[in-house]
Amino acid sequence: MLDRSCIEAIDPLLEILDGKWTLPLLLELFVGTKRFGELRRKLHPISPKTLTDRLRVLEEKGIITRTQYPGVPLHIEYELTERGWNLQPIFAAMWAWVQENDLSGERGAEEMA
């Protein structure tokens, strides 16, 4: 059984993962380094402001790095840091939990009812 201190200890992680687009954004970066435009296309219909906000938060938390290359046009790439890559087992565990508890089709069933 988890006590209250264990639950409170994960608050920083929940703050990082907060927001509608954060998980899909991280999943895209698990595939590899991406430029802003690539992320926008993959996460359509995310707004540029929302994407910028999410990227900034993830960078501030040390989950991703932003590398700016000189030249015209401006070339910026985003990639996961070691801390970001360490989130992958958490996502795998969440996916396994959904599969084990047969929740993958539950939403569709509720919408049909």
pLDDT in tens, 24-54: 999 999 999 999 999 999 999 999 999 999 9
What is the rounded CA–CA span in Å between residue 100 and residue 87?
Answer: 20
Above 80 in pLDDT, residue 105? Answer: no
Q: Which of 24, 30, 26, 59 minimizes the C-alpha distance to 44?
A: 24
Q: Are 80 and 63 in contact (CB under 8 A)?
A: yes
Q: What is the pLDDT of residue 112?
A: 34
With a pLDDT cut of 70, the percent of the chain lying above it is: 90
Could you give the 3-state DSSP secondary structure of residue 44? coil
Q: What is the pTM of this model?
A: 0.81
Q: What is the pLDDT of residue 8?
A: 85
